[in-house]
Amino acid sequence: MPLHIAIAGAGIGGLAAAAFLTRDGHHVTLFERFAAPRPLGAGLMLQPTGLACLAQLGLDRAAIAQGEVIARLWGETVSGKRIFDVAYGEIGPKVFGLAMHRATLFGILYGDVVRLGVPMVPATEIAASRLDVDKRLLIDTNGREHGPFDLVIDGTGMRSTLRRSEMRLAYDAPCRYGAIWGIVAEPAGWPHRGELRQRYDGCHVMIGILPVGHAPGDERRLTALFWSLRVADYAAWREAGLEAWKARVIGLWPAAAPFVEQIKSPDEMTLAAYADTGLRQPYGERIVCLGDAARSTSPQLGQGANLALIDAATLSACLREQADVATALATYAIQRRAHTRFYAIASRWLTPFFQSDSRSAALLRDLTFPLMGHVPYLRREMVRTLSGMKTGLFSHLDPGQWHPDYALAGPALSSQPA
């Protein structure tokens, strides 16, 4: 039976959920705090898991056409020592990542939701909800109530206030390190297309170059440039001046000069701060969380948007297959548990090796990571981890469960790299 569903938050998870649930015949209304929904941030990477979910919506080809297919991830120290060099192709000829400008992914999902005619309520910040017999109402920050709805989906991200009354946080720890991100044009002759490249000095410096393809209305090939930074040092970074920072980046990584020289104002580098958050369980009566509202991690493994897309696909399948809302939400929580727990733990475990002040972590990383790269089993596990496929230390999933084009076995997509 079609349900009346409210989704708070028109981010990646909220938009994807609106697209899935509207296709299933439900009556969806989207609430967004901004007057016009918009993406925040610079670039991100979609993994085969997230791409398979986009494929269920018929949107993966548009994403591939506009993004940058990533075949390899490369990390090295400032002295040029290779820390990792992993190729998606290690686990299957058709496995690849897709780097995108956030605005591009957002535009693809938003365009789909507009085409489907999903009603949107902009400029409405949702603060809470309340149960009214067997329905749920949303309450905005002006005290206005919206609804009633059969189900409320919280897609308002890691700082959700909506979930507070119904769900309890299991942990909530701000990450000491964040990163500043900017988008620049790919310089002519850049030899590392199709690769995410990072350079480290200890664990306190990480510079990244991620080709992201095209942004809406921009013909240039673009690149996301990021620089790891302690959140508490952001004001000092601005104060020290852009030129000092540029000189430092170029000193540590001369090849980054044509990227960093394009930055003309500190405002072109946006600070992203992260937190490790998780819920005891991601649902309550007629309310459920997805994406960052359900859990958030440091983006070291680049999984957050993928997890949000999988959440949306799984939730819609549970509502389709289960007899009632309560059973569907409980099933959704069970189905998402192992996968999201693995990435929460793996991100927490890995982040200090790339973003911390620890000298011993740097030493250990520089000694052990290159060795791990020589063991084929461990290399494959590294790729599976990056590809968003791990569900436990010795288990993994196949993205083919969401769409046959992304099944590990089978013919390759025509538009992926050779």
Ligand X SMILES: Cc1cc2nc3c(=O)[nH]c(=O)nc-3n(C[C@H](O)[C@H](O)[C@H](O)COP(=O)(O)OP(=O)(O)OC[C@H]3O[C@@H](n4cnc5c(N)ncnc54)[C@H](O)[C@@H]3O)c2cc1C
DSSP β-ladder status, 169-174 and 295-296: unpaired
Least gap, CB of 274 to ligand X (angstroms): 6
The rounded distance, in Å, linking the Cα atoms of 320 and 328 is 8
The reply on whether position 13 binds ligand X by CB under 6 A is yes
At its nearest, how many Å lie between ligand X and the CB of residue 79? 26
Give the nearer residue to ligand X in terms of CB position, either 62 or 310: 310
Smallest gap from residue 414 Cβ to ligand X (A): 24
Distance CA 113, CA 157 (A): 19
Would you give the distance in Å from CA 220 to the centre of its chain?
23
- C-alpha to C-alpha distances, 257 to 74, 186, 202, 225, 234, nearest whole angstrom: 18, 12, 21, 11, 21
Return the residue matching tokens 């949702």: 126
Query: Site for ligand X (CB under 6 A): which residue of 299, 300, 347, 379?
Result: 299
Instruction: State in angstroms the smallest separation of the CB of 155 from ligand X.
Output: 5
Q: Shortest distance, CB of residue 36 to ligand X, whole angstroms?
A: 11
274 or 283: CB nearest ligand X: 274
Q: Shortest CA distance to 184 belongs to which of 375, 286, 43?
A: 43
Identify which range of 28-36, 214-222, 352-360, 402-410 contacts ligand X by CB under 6 A: 28-36
> Binding segment for ligand X among 20-28, 41-49, 110-118, 233-241 (CB under 6 A)?
41-49
Encoded amino acid at 287, one letter? I
Q: How far is the CB of 133 from ligand X (least distance, A)?
A: 24
Helices 304-321, 12-23: axis angle to 10 degrees equals: 20
Q: Give least dist CB 359 to ligand X, A.
A: 25
DSSP code, position 416:
S
Q: Kindly state whether residue 157 participates in binding ligand X, applying the rule CB under 6 A.
A: yes
Q: By CB under 6 A, which span of 153-161, 164-172, 255-263, 314-322 interacts with ligand X?
A: 153-161
Containing H/E element for 30?
Answer: strand 27-31
Distance CA 21, CA 27 (A): 8
Instruction: Report the nearest approach of ligand X to the CB of residue 11 (Å).
Output: 2
Say if residues 305 and 46 touch (Cβ distance below 8 Å): yes
Among positions 5, 18, 44, 83, the unique one binding ligand X when judged by CB under 6 A: 44
To ligand X, the closest distance from the beta carbon of 416 in angstroms equals: 18
Query: For tokens 């693809």, what's the residue?
Result: 108
Question: Rounded to the nearest 5°, which phi and psi values hold at 108?
Answer: -65, -45
Give, as ranges, the residues between 112 and 141 that touch ligand X (CB under 6 A).
Answer: 125-126
**Which range, of 21-29, 200-208, 291-299, 325-333, touches ligand X by CB under 6 A?**
291-299
Size of the site for ligand X (CB under 6 A): 33
The residue length of the chain stands at 418
Tell me: does residue 75 bind ligand X (CB under 6 A): no
Q: Which of 110, 227, 253, 274 contacts ligand X by CB under 6 A?
A: 274
**Contact pattern for ligand X over residues 306 through 325, marking x by CB under 6 A:** x-x-----------------
Output phi, psi for 231, to 5 deg. -55, -40
Among 22, 32, 209, 228, interactor with ligand X by CB under 6 A: 32
Using CA atoms, how far residue 328 sits from 3, 27, 183, 186, 263, in Å, is 13, 17, 41, 46, 48
Residues 6 or more apart whose CB falls under 8 angstroms from that of 192 comprise: 74, 209, 211
Closest CA to 302 of 347, 246, 249: 347
210 or 366: whose CB is closer to ligand X?
210
150 is an interface residue for ligand X by CB under 6 A: no
Rounded CA-CA distance 136/416 in Å is: 44
Question: Binding to ligand X by residue 282, rule CB under 6 A?
Answer: no
Applying CB under 6 A, which part among 66-74, 237-245, 303-311, 399-407 lies near ligand X? 303-311
Interacting residues toward ligand X by CB under 6 A: 8-14, 31-34, 41, 44-45, 125-126, 155-157, 179, 181, 272, 274, 291-293, 299, 302-306, 308
